[in-house]
Structure 1
Amino acid sequence: MSSTDTTDRSIAPDREALSLMTKLKLDRFKLRKIKFVEEYTQIMARINDSTMSSFDKVQLVSKSIENLFGEDGKTRYLKNLETILTISKANTSTTNDFLENFFQNLMKTIEGGKRRSEYNYLFGLIMSQWLSNQQDEFTPIEVTSNDESLLTNEQLKVIIFNKPQLDLDKWRYFLENNLLSSSVDKNLKSKKAFEKLKLATEKFSKSLLMEKVSSADVQRAIDGVINGGSLDDYRKRLLMKMRLEKNTVDEFASSLNLMIADLAEWNWPIEGVRGVFRRNLVGKYRCYYEENFLTAIFLEHIGLKWSYHFKEELELIFDFLTEKIQKNCSSNSIQDERINMQKNEYWMSALPDESHLEFGMASYANVDSGIASYANIDSVDLKAKLLYLINVEIQLHQVLHPDTSFTVVSADLEWFGPSIPHEIILIFLEFCGVSQIWLNFFDRFLKQPIYYKPGESIRQRQRGVPIAHSISFLFSELMLSGMDLYVYQNTSIFNYRFHDDFWFFDSQSDKITQAWSLMNEYAQITGLKFNEEKCGSVQILPSNITNQTDTLLPHRNVKWGLLTLQSTGRFVIQRETIIPFLDEMKVRLTNALTIIEWINLYNQYIAFFMRNFGKCANILGTYHTKQMIETFQFIHQYVFSETNGNVLTILMNCIAKQFPDCMMNELCEAWFYWPIIHGGLNLKNIYLDLYSIHNQLLNKKMTTFNQLPERDTEKYAEIMEKYERGKIHRKDKSLKKYLHDDETLISFDEFIQRRETRISYWNDVYKEMLNITPSLSPIMTDHHEDHIQFLQKTMTKISSAKRYYAGTNYYLKWLVYFYSQQIESTFNQLDFIDPENVPVGLISLMQTTKINWNKE
């Protein structure tokens, strides 16, 4: 494999320019290395002459430094040299030790420079190797098929090209008589709230046809398309460039205005849309559709506008539903915190909120979430918070109701997106007040013409929504919001839902069972089906009860990521569940073509495991960090069994095999972990992350729910004392909330019944337990702080680096704390690569290029 030949084939112009610039910098690394080796060899040959004095040695090496480092080197390494030599020569009271020591320091400068040239040349080769192995973007992507993708394709075709047989009259009856009409509240207030939504939707249907598309609208839609996951890297970069060109954006805006004016005539391109299957890290195949940019941006704009409308209107519905609850609790209570969390974070979470959207290229850092999926809050963080919330609610329950069980249910719909019946969603939209011109448009959108291979006949979709469309997410959310509303109205059970993944929990098992029954009823009416393999329930049992099951609830395990909830209330990592990922990780690392690909794969898998073990929050405590540390040790020992888990030895062997002429002695450990923008390889050291959190938890003194009952006793004693004093002296107004109407004091039992609705210190602990545990920063010396400032200053010059290291200051601090001494000792200075020679464009490209998981 040639590591430097990057321009011997036809490639995209931007890649060609990048290749030439990278080669230019690589050539400089090579020449510098040759120069250092030659100079060093000459020096070593001459200084071995026993007749040469220390004074002559210093002069010889200083001239070499001037030759190797130029004027900048002279200023940096030879400052005051002439003065030192002059005084030393004249001084009759000196020894050779002084000059010999000065000579040794100068030799360290030469040796450090030589090592820097060797590492920088190897760094350049590794960078160039990655670029030379990137696919020619002018060549159409060849989508390979395997048994798994073919099976997914066949299953998908069976669903989307067959129209389901449903009782649509039953669905209409349900919408008119059951939605927003509970068995308790029959006073028509619920229906009045929904009537307001219908009127607002009828008005919006008209206004959107008249509204002019702005350049900001186009940029927002382009952001959605880019973040939606449907584009390959090449088309994504093209669209990112188009987004920055004002004339292009304005042209899109005028075109979209024309398309909306002719909405009644819009349809998919007559040649159809090609479906392409792509695999993700966990092995799932999804079918994405290669639309032209104009169609994609137009549909994204329409979907976003309608999403803003329904998000706002359905939030008003939720306000109505929770009005009574909020009136019966104080503003600083657990119950109030729950309601606000449900509304602001989990209610209709897949729909974007126009008032909170931010634009700009920074959003591309997390291309797997974004506008089209979880718009306002990062989906990973939101799902992680649910893990913390379940743990908090379990531990709160165990303190408040130690003698009763607590039930947790998780559920998932089978082939949800492809299974949505078109007639069901169109009737729902009509029920919400969407006008006929829009209903006709949405019907044409749903009847997407599809083919999978060139020359294949086009077939029209009869069921399901196209993936990665804001309109599709809107339709999905509207359908499932009906289920959420139906359950909440009748049981007060809130569904913490991410798209089609459901989580709900409560101490009243009968309500949980009723909620599950209503969900299945709704699914049956709408032609949906729960995936039995992914539906589970767990009852967290009191210590005096050994076994208790509800035969009506799903019986499989409750899983969050790679964690399984036990009946004790603990989430544990079951190692057998991660073995398939580890086996695939070993194969992919073995088959990696380049060093950078190897490192990217390793980092992606480590991030995947970290994400699916759940980043630690205060509620999880050291129990969770301990099991994560032990599991990552197991992962390394399993994947790198031949080196007893040492990833660096494996990587060194890979480098030695691919670049045998560039290998020195054992490579510096710090170099592998050092930031790539500073000349390192950017390998992730997960243990710096884990121990920074673990040690924080060890050092942090937190109040837990277990400590609060004692505080209740103390607080009630204070209240009673105030009350008794008030009988004699002027009454204390702060006591009013603790008195009955007849001004008698509430009992202690009545006081503790308010723990979730009135007592603020219970809510303080509730919120504190939900907080993500901050990483503990190391104790930094002034020297360390100088290093940090130097590294950060360089990173601010590169936008991709700013995104990459955003929010990871603590990790950079640990890198400096742990490895800066080794960097300095190896290279004689921290800045071991010239910033002018860092291939910034290439690094930016690497950080925005996704791994092709389709490749076996």
Structure 2
Amino acid sequence: MPAMALAELLSQILSSITGIKLEELSNQRSSFEDEKAKLFKAVSLETSQKEKLRVLLRNIEKLPTMGDIDRNTLISIENIRRYLEQSQYDPSVSDELLTDWKSKLEKELDVHSFRLEYASLYGRLVTECLSVSDETVMETLEYSIDGSGFESIGRKEMHEQREKLEEYVFKPMATDTEAINKYMTSLVDKPKESQSAFVAFKEATTAFESDMARTGHFDLDCLNWVIRGVLRTDLLSDEKQKVLKDFKDNKLLLLEVADDSKGTPIIQRRILNGRYRFYHDEDLLQSLLHCIGTTWSVHIKTTLDRFKKSRGVWKASSAPLSKTEKSRRDWFWGNHNGITIFLEQLKVRLDEVRGGYDDGASVRYPQKPTSNCSGTAACAFHGDHVCKETRSRAVVWTFSAAFDYLCSSKTLQCVRTSDQFLPSLFGGANKFVVDGPDAPIQDRKQGTALSTSLCDFFAESVLFCLDFVFNQKTEGARLYRLHENIWFWGSEERCLKGWNTILKVSSMMGLEMNEEKTGSVMITIKTETSAELHSTPPKGDIRWAFLKLDSGSGRFLIDQDMVDKHIEELKRQLDACKSIFDWIQAWNIYGARFFTNNFGKPANCFGKAHVDMMLETCSRIQTRVFESSGGSVTAALKQMISDRFGVKDIPEGYFYFPASKGGLDLKSPFVPLYMIRDQITANPDSYMDKFFDSE
């Protein structure tokens, strides 16, 4: 049975089951409310508080679905009964006390009414979500049957990014392989230590390639981690992901036969930051070649890390540390740059899974998400800036740049792989899904499919050359590079030398700068004069996500203009949701998680003012998005539920209660920030002041 038809069948089954449960719940609720009304009427007919309470105690647990009241630890039915008996002879058991117990029991009945009401509401929300899913499945089925459902007119950004991709990947790149090899060889031939380390790297790579050619790659263990890795990349369509999950649970793998003449489909997806990314909807067998890219990634990261740590290879900007100083530094920092930043896109182990926002300890060998690693550079800059600002009158330059990265097989010969291996992994026939089933097939001339392990391997291999050249030419200056994004800072002379080095390497290897992400800022610390940029550096701003480096204060500030653009996008995302559950999911992902993760992680180097700026911006986002519905996410939800289901006066706690407990699992961006706010220092400079005063 096709996956789409199966999805439709499952949706119908779930809708049927939910309908049956809702009908049963409605009958229970109706029966309970009828008996509850009769009980309240019987209580009201009694004249004394003792008799009112006695009627309640006699009948309260007999009501349908009421169950055991003693589950509420604040009420003991047995104690109330004993005190009621005691009140016949003991005048100290007053009518006020009996009235209070009666009120508590009546409140328990009202709470149970609310419990049934919100259970019914949750069921209706599920029904709404399933009905929306049915519509989506039917639309998808219609698209797949007649091929007429493809979007012919998209957003301006989508077309612009597609034109840029076509210009890059379907035209050959001209690079001088001989010049690249000559330049890289000149850097490792001078010191004997570098030369011997490079020879060891080449020998290890040659031996690895030979061993990989002889060894069988696919067994059950290998396929298990390969499938897990492919499913984490979002490369495949929903239908193929379902098939691949079935493969994972079946030892007798059903193999598909690919027909390359049809061309690999390219799907354009819009991601949270508003840009479009291109994904190859590969055949399942092609996607399982994830194994090759991962195996090469582990090897190249291990060997290049060994090369970097070899004596005399990697230059340091400071004097050598003593054994005691090194131990102290390792205790505080650990292998921070080695594990977190160096070649961070590559895996350390074959079965390593990059951690996500919500993975936690369940992920085996988790690697931090790139967004967390990117924030490391901003924190490092602030920490370095605080140190310099506290006791010096210096000028600090900071640079950032990003590459629109694509390469050819000739460019990658600098990593010393064989001529047979590289060309076979480039090229291939591609077509755009949005153009319909008769889309023209084009041959890729450079680069590999994005979001694949092979793409990560090739990109990090080439960009390592940039890391190495930058280190050698700047005499050990620190370059923070996270995939294609780079940051560095320091004195004017060193920064300009580093920038010129980057320009030379990128020109030689065919790397093109992304001008939108490239810029420089000169920060004058504790001086009267204003800072003016030299004519050589790029003129753009220094940015990380929503943060923009302010040259006056040397601090990262939230770019409110950029936030405004994403507020409009958030409105479009929420307006497009057809069910309450979809609406809440869109808010949790975009409104709560996306914004706060891109405002920078709260840290002492940023100070409490940065947390307050995040809180203020989150408040402004809600005010703008929900200006017509109460100014908050809960007010908007209350209004929607009231309009659609007629349920009013819903307590705020119900929205935030976990879904596993019957709540709606709404996320608040404010709670995590307020939990950490009081732990953040108000004055980051005070740490350095205290340090220098104690020296």
TM range (shorter): 0.7 to 0.9
Which residue of 549, 563, 587 corresponds with 1:578?
A: 563
What does the per-residue CA deviation read over 1:528-552, in whole Å, with 9 as the maximum and x for residues that have no partner?
2112221111122122132232221
Letter in 2 for 1:220: W
Q: Whole-Å Cα distance in 2 between the matches of residues 525 and 601 of structure 1?
A: 44
- Picking from 596, 619, 628, the partner of 2:581 is 596
1:92, 1:627 → 2: CA distance?
Answer: 63
Shift of 1:628: 1.2
Report the counterpart of residue 129 of structure 2 in structure 1: 130
Q: 2:169 aligned with 1:189, yes or no? A: no
- 1:589/1:601 contact within 8 Å kept: yes
Contact persistence 1:573–1:627 (CA under 8 A): yes
- Structure 1 counterpart SS, 2:326: coil
CA distance in 2, matches of 1:409, 1:268: 47
One-letter amino acid matched to 2:555: R
Change (3 A) 1:28 1:485: farther
* Alpha-carbon distance, 1:456 to partner: 2.4
2:655 to 669, 672, 688: 672
Is the Cα contact below 8 Å between 1:55 and 1:99 reproduced in 2? no
Distance in 2 separating the partners of 1:328 and 1:50: 89
8 A Cα contact 1:275 1:289, kept in partner: yes
SS at match of 1:278: strand
DSSP-derived class of the 1:685 partner: coil
Aligned counterparts of 1:92 and 1:543: Cα–Cα separation in 2: 81
Give the C-alpha shift of residue 438 in structure 1: 2.2
Deviations 1:59-106 (A, max 9, x none): 256424322236545776774279538725853745554444333222
Q: Partner letter of residue 155 of structure 2?
A: D
Which residue pairs with 2:601 in the alignment?
A: 615
Please say if residues 265 and 431 of structure 2, whose CA atoms lie closer than 8 Å, have aligned partners that are also in contact.
yes
Q: How does 1:317-716 map to 2 (within 5 A)?
A: 317-320=307-310, 321-322=313-314, 327-329=320-322, 330-332=325-327, 340-354=335-349, 357-358=351-352, 365=358, 376-399=367-390, 402-414=392-404, 416=405, 419-425=406-412, 427-429=413-415, 432=416, 434-439=417-422, 443-452=423-432, 453-491=436-474, 492-506=476-490, 508-544=491-527, 545-567=529-551, 568-604=553-589, 605-643=591-629, 645-660=631-646, 663-664=647-648, 666-697=649-680, 704-712=687-695
Map residues 12-411 of structure 1 onto 2, 5 A cutoff: 12=8, 14-49=10-45, 54-55=50-51, 58-60=54-56, 62-69=58-65, 72-73=68-69, 79-80=77-78, 83-84=81-82, 87-88=85-86, 91=89, 93=91, 96-134=95-133, 135-136=136-137, 139=141, 144=151, 145-148=153-156, 149-178=158-187, 180=188, 186-212=190-216, 213-243=218-248, 245=249, 247-248=251-252, 251=253, 269-297=260-288, 299-320=289-310, 321-322=313-314, 327-329=320-322, 330-332=325-327, 340-354=335-349, 357-358=351-352, 365=358, 376-399=367-390, 402-411=392-401
CA shift for structure 1 position 232:
3.8
Superposed CA RMSD = 3.2
State the match for 1:262 in structure 2.
Answer: none
Structure 1 residue 378: Cα displacement = 2.3
- Contact 1:410–1:558 (Cα < 8 Å) also in 2: yes
Measured in 2, the distance between the counterparts of 1:487 and 1:287 equals 31
How far apart in 2 are the matches of 1:583 and 1:336? Answer: 46
Give the letter aligned to residue 230 of structure 2.
V
| Contact 1:326-1:336 within 8 A present in 2 as well | no
Q: Give the direction of change, closer, same or farther, for the CA distance of 1:89–1:691 in structure 2 (3 Å limit).
A: closer
The whole-number CA distance in structure 2 between the counterparts of 1:690 and 1:150 is 38
Aligned 8 A contact 2:622 2:631 in 1: yes
* Secondary structure in 1 matching 2:530: coil
Range that drifts further, 638-647 or 597-606: 638-647
The aligned amino acid for 2:100 is N
Which is further off, 695-704 or 272-281?
695-704
What is the TM-score of this pair, normalised by structure 1? 0.72
The aligned amino acid for 1:573 is I
State the alpha-carbon separation in 2 of the partners of residues 483 and 70 from structure 1. 70
Amino acid at match of 1:91: Y
Contact 2:56 2:102 in 1 (8 A): no
Please tell me whether the aligned partners of residues 314 and 471 of structure 2 are also in contact (alpha carbons under 8 angstroms): no
Tell me, in whole angstroms, the C-alpha distance in 2 between the residues paired with 1:24 and 1:428: 66
Cα separation, partners in 2 of 1:524 and 1:701, compared to 1, 3 Å? closer
Asked whether the equivalents of residues 399 and 521 of structure 2 are also in contact (C-alpha less than 8 Å), the reply is yes
Aligned-partner residue type, residue 625 of structure 2: V
Counterparts of 1:214 and 1:618, CA distance in 2: 48
Within 1, Cα distance between the matches of 2:506 and 2:482?
17
- The more displaced of 561-570 and 25-34 is 25-34
2: distance between equivalents of 1:12 and 1:677? 25
Return the letter of the residue paired with 2:160. Answer: L
Q: Structure 1, residues 485-513: CA drift from partner, whole Å, max 9, x if none? A: 1111111223211211111112x221111
SS of the residue 2:280 aligns to: strand
In 2, the alpha carbon distance for the partners of 1:702 and 1:38 equals 68
3-state SS, counterpart of residue 410 of structure 2:
helix
CA contact (8 A) 2:44 2:52 kept: no
Q: Is the Cα contact below 8 Å between 2:407 and 2:446 reproduced in 1? A: yes
CA distance in 1, matches of 2:43, 2:106: 11
One-letter code aligned to 1:350: Q
Q: Which residue of 2 aligns with 1:830?
A: none
The 1:289/1:358 distance shift into structure 2, 3 A limit, reads closer
| Partners of 1:319 and 1:232 in 2: CA distance | 42
Count matched residues: 663
Secondary structure of the residue aligned to 1:697 is: coil
CA distance in 1 between partners of 2:584 and 2:241 (Å): 23
Task: Report the equivalent of 1:748.
Answer: none
| Structure 1 counterpart SS, 2:548 | strand
Query: How many Å separate the matches in 1 of 2:159 and 2:532?
Result: 43
Q: Tell me, in whole angstroms, the C-alpha distance in 2 between the residues paired with 1:187 and 1:699.
A: 48
For structure 2, the residue ranges without an aligned partner over 5 or more in a row are none
Can you give the 5+ residue segments of structure 1 that lack an aligned partner in the other structure? 1-8, 257-265, 713-856
Q: Deviations over 1:334-390 (max 9, x none)?
A: 5997793222221111100018x5469x979569xx99xx97332222112222111
Q: 1:166 to 1:700 in 2, by over 3 A?
A: closer
Change (3 A) 1:602 1:25: same
CA contact (8 A) 2:46 2:52 kept: no
Deviations 1:558-592 (A, max 9, x none): 01111111122111112122111111212332332
With normalisation by structure 2, the TM-score equals 0.87
Structure 1 residue 27, shift from structure 2 partner: 3.6
Q: Choose 341-350 or 34-43, whichever is displaced more.
A: 34-43
Of stretches 402-411 and 58-67 in structure 1, the one that deviates more from structure 2 is 58-67
